[in-house]
Amino acid sequence: QAQLVESGGDSVQAGGSLRLSCAASRSTSNNYCMAWFRQAPGKEREEVASIDSNGATMYSDSVKGRFTISKDNAKNTLYLQIDSLKPEDTAMYFCAAAGPYPWPPSCQPGWDYKRWGQGTQVTVSS
């Protein structure tokens, strides 16, 4: 199964942008769900974006319009572009993978992700 390594987290000012990356140790292009989660201190882990094998994406209401999930299958890398950063975006961000499945999964919110990266910290100051 794919090992995942996130990078790109940083300390930035509100209004700034970041691009997080998640490198997978093997291809996740065929019948996988891929997603980004975040967890702030004292809060539950939140799924913020997901992408399926066909490139269909979903976002939580809290990030819709500001976050963009994408993947480069040739590089086995998942991305999260974060724009218009807010202090409430401060959290540890994790990428996650599920698959491969014998069929294209729907990757609905709440999907059971089996593989996780170690996380990358995003801190936004006002």
Predicted confidence (pLDDT) at residue 87 exceeds the cutoff of 90: yes
Average pLDDT of every residue of the chain: 95
How much is the pLDDT for 88? 96
Predicted confidence (pLDDT) at residue 2 exceeds the cutoff of 80: no
- Average confidence (pLDDT) over 11-30: 95
How much is the pLDDT for 29? 86
SS3 sequence of the chain: CCCEEEECCCEEECCCCEEEEEEECCCCCCCCEEEEEEECCCCCCEEEEEECCCCCEEECCCCCCCEEEEEEHHHCEEEEEECCCCHHHCEEEEEEEECCCCCCCCCCCCCCCCEECCCEEEEEEC
- Average confidence (pLDDT) over 55-60: 96
How much is the pLDDT for 44? 96
The string of pLDDT tens digits covering residues 31-49 is: 999 999 999 999 999 999 9
